[in-house]
A and B are shown apart, each in its own frame.
Chain A
Amino acid sequence: MIQALWKFEFLQNAFLAGILIGIIAPLLGVFIVVRRQALIADALSHITLAGIAASLLLGKYFTFWQGINPVYMGMGFSAAGSLFIEQLRKVYKHFEELAIPITLSGGIGLGVVFLSLADGFNSDLFNYLFGSVIAISRSDLSAVAVITVIVVIVVTLLYKELFFLSFDEEQANVSGVRAKWIHFIFILLVAFVIAVSMQIVGVLLVSALMTLPVAASIRIARGFKQTIVYSIIFGEVAVLGGLILAYYLDIAPGGTIVLLSALILLVVLLFKRMKQWKS
């Protein structure tokens, strides 16, 4: 494996992208989960698919467009979708959760129509739905790297505001935290992270990377910072372990990563139960 890793660029790309996504997906996931918005990642990943499909469609008609990485358009759609969700939440004040199914089904509908127009029902689509390690190019990797740097810097700088808003929005407002702006920035970050993580685990599984490590961490961590640290550790174990297992067993990496996250969650829950049982 180590030899193969030296030899094949696509493996290096996969591992490096995996390491970075293993940091940023759970990092943002912590804030999403504690705000009870775990499903937002699902909605945005489906919108991202629509963006990728739109990019493939444009590539069919304009040759120059084929040189542009479809992930960028995916990001654009995802960002627009995130703002759309915020608007829907305001419109349906008393049914906030409606924003998720509306966006999710709208996204997948749009994606399917674009794909059929672009003759995209082929192995590419399969890659986007379930992730493909082989498909990660150097350009994809640099997109992941740029997003990682941005996410880590922004979350570090706005950490106390994000934390306060997640815990108690009303009190944060009274204390002069600019909730609107910070929400806006945060949701954009989520949209970008989903767009870049999709390539490893795919549209259908991307939200797992944002929620499963956090779900495990939240059971055993003390305090918010520790929750973040554990979430990232679990995320990394799942991504790296999943990639290695997938390589040796020759199975789908996206699915393996998600199953490994679920296994970690299970172990943590059992550990917690045993600890409670002992005391």
Chain B
Amino acid sequence: MSTPNNLIDLQNVSFHYGDGYVLEDISFSIPEGAFVGLVGPNGSGKSTLIKLIFGLLKPQKGNVQIFGKKINKFHDWSKIGYVSQKANSFNSGFPASVFEVVSMGLTSKLGLFKFMKAPHRKAVMDALQLVGMSDFSSSNIGELSGGQQQRVFIARALVSQPEVLILDEPTVGVDANSTSDFYELLGKLNKENGITLLLVTHDIGTITDKVTHVACLNKTLHFHGETNEFEQFNEREVSGFYGHHVHVLSHDHDHGGI
């Protein structure tokens, strides 16, 4: 049974490619308005879980529900924005302006044979405004820094006004300062703009002060709940599934970092 305010809901989902489960008996949900951090080491099945949410893979067991509908009945994909891990691995010589990159986000919303009109152009500028990149709209995307590019890709995901934004390891290849600004931006999008967020990362330490919910994944779901409960979740268990000692709750942000 899915509660109506769970935008994404996985029930007892298991998945395997060949032999051996990649994901086993996962029950995982994203409530409306939440900022969920999904953490797990490399190879823990995070990317597989995202593919299940987008219906790119079908689970062998269990159900996936999106906006209260069974996944095969759900078609309104513009409600879910996605920023891929590989978003900034594009060819940096590609001659596209920031404005044009963000407009790509309207492709499916506009549909075939439709052209951008004034309101669409405004939506692009609004999305850029939201991520603080409006001054760069006519720059070529390759001229920007990694952190700026990441903001542009967020804007591209936001321009179709999705209700949920899924970010897969978005800070890979972005320097530490930009990364913390970036989490700041995500927190703002969640609190002020009411966008539900799923942030997938292996970087467990830095996110626990921003997110409202945490899920720890390594083949099975080791923890899934609100952040304050997670803080009592003992460190030994986390390091147990990470396979080495990790500092989970090192919130030294007040000291301005390193």
* Contact B140 A167, beta carbon cutoff 8 Å: no
Complex Cα–Cα for A203 and B138 (A): 38
Q: Which residues of B contact A180 (CB under 8 A)?
A: none
Q: Which residues of A contact B110 (CB under 8 A)?
A: 160
Give which listed residue, B54, B96, B104, contacts A223 with CB less than 8 A.
B96
* Contact A223 B84, beta carbon cutoff 8 Å: no
* Contact A171 B87, beta carbon cutoff 8 Å: yes
The yes or no answer to B99 lying at the interface (CB within 8 A) is yes
Quote the shortest CB–CB distance from A118 to chain B (angstroms).
43
Complex Cα–Cα for A171 and B90 (A): 11
Q: Which residues of B contact A177 (CB under 8 A)?
A: 107-108
Give the one of A160, A177, A221, A224 with max B CB within 10 A: A160
Q: What is the 8 Å Cβ interface bit string for chain A, positions 189-229, against chain B (1 contact, 0 not)?
A: 00000000000000000000000000001100111111100
* Contact B100 A224, beta carbon cutoff 8 Å: yes
Complex Cα–Cα for A177 and B112 (A): 9
Interface residues in B87-120 (C-beta closer than 8 Å to A): 87, 90-91, 93-97, 99-101, 103-108, 110, 112-113, 116
Residue of A nearest to B114 (CB): A160
Q: What is the 8 Å Cβ interface bit string for chain A, positions 131-167, against chain B (1 contact, 0 not)?
A: 0000000000000000000000000011011011011
Residue of A nearest to B80 (CB): A174
Residue of B nearest to A221 (CB): B95
Residue of B nearest to A176 (CB): B108
* Contact B82 A223, beta carbon cutoff 8 Å: no
Complex Cα–Cα for A225 and B115 (A): 14
* Contact A168 B82, beta carbon cutoff 8 Å: no
Give the one of A157, A167, A223 with max B CB within 10 A: A223
Give the one of B82, B105, B107 with max A CB within 10 A: B107
The yes or no answer to A275 lying at the interface (CB within 8 A) is no
* Contact B84 A170, beta carbon cutoff 8 Å: yes
Complex Cα–Cα for A177 and B101 (A): 15
* Contact B95 A223, beta carbon cutoff 8 Å: yes
Give which listed residue, B54, B90, B106, contacts A167 with CB less than 8 A.
B90
Give which listed residue, B77, B95, B100, contacts A176 with CB less than 8 A.
B77
Quote the shortest CB–CB distance from B189 to chain A (angstroms).
19
Q: Contacts A171-B82, A223-B99; is A218 near B104 (CB within 8 Å)?
A: no
The yes or no answer to A237 lying at the interface (CB within 8 A) is no
Q: Which residues of A contact B91 (CB under 8 A)?
A: 34, 36
The yes or no answer to B253 lying at the interface (CB within 8 A) is no
* Contact A223 B140, beta carbon cutoff 8 Å: yes
Q: Which residues of A contact B77 (CB under 8 A)?
A: 174-176
The yes or no answer to B244 lying at the interface (CB within 8 A) is no
The yes or no answer to B86 lying at the interface (CB within 8 A) is yes
Q: Contacts A160-B103, A164-B107; is A223 near B138 (CB within 8 Å)?
A: yes
* Contact A172 B107, beta carbon cutoff 8 Å: yes
Complex Cα–Cα for A222 and B116 (A): 19
Interface residues in B204-236 (C-beta closer than 8 Å to A): none
Q: Which residues of A contact B56 (CB under 8 A)?
A: 174
Complex Cα–Cα for A227 and B138 (A): 13
* Contact B100 A223, beta carbon cutoff 8 Å: yes
Complex Cα–Cα for A244 and B106 (A): 45
Interface residues in A33-52 (C-beta closer than 8 Å to B): 34, 36
Complex Cα–Cα for A223 and B54 (A): 31
Residue of B nearest to A217 (CB): B95
* Contact A224 B104, beta carbon cutoff 8 Å: no
Q: Which residues of B contact A167 (CB under 8 A)?
A: 90, 94, 96, 101, 104
Q: Contacts A177-B108, A222-B138; is A168 near B90 (CB within 8 Å)?
A: yes
Chain B residues in the interface with A (C-beta under 8 A): 54, 56, 77, 82, 84, 86-87, 90-91, 93-97, 99-101, 103-108, 110, 112-113, 116, 138-140
Chain A residues in the interface with B (C-beta under 8 A): 34, 36, 157-158, 160-161, 163-164, 166-168, 170-172, 174-177, 217-218, 221-227
What are 9 A-B pairs with beta-carbon distances under 8 A?
A164-B107, A167-B104, A170-B86, A171-B87, A172-B107, A174-B56, A222-B139, A223-B97, A223-B99
The 7 A-B residue pairs with the shortest CB-CB distance in the complex, in nearest-first order: A223-B97, A227-B95, A175-B108, A176-B108, A164-B104, A224-B96, A157-B113
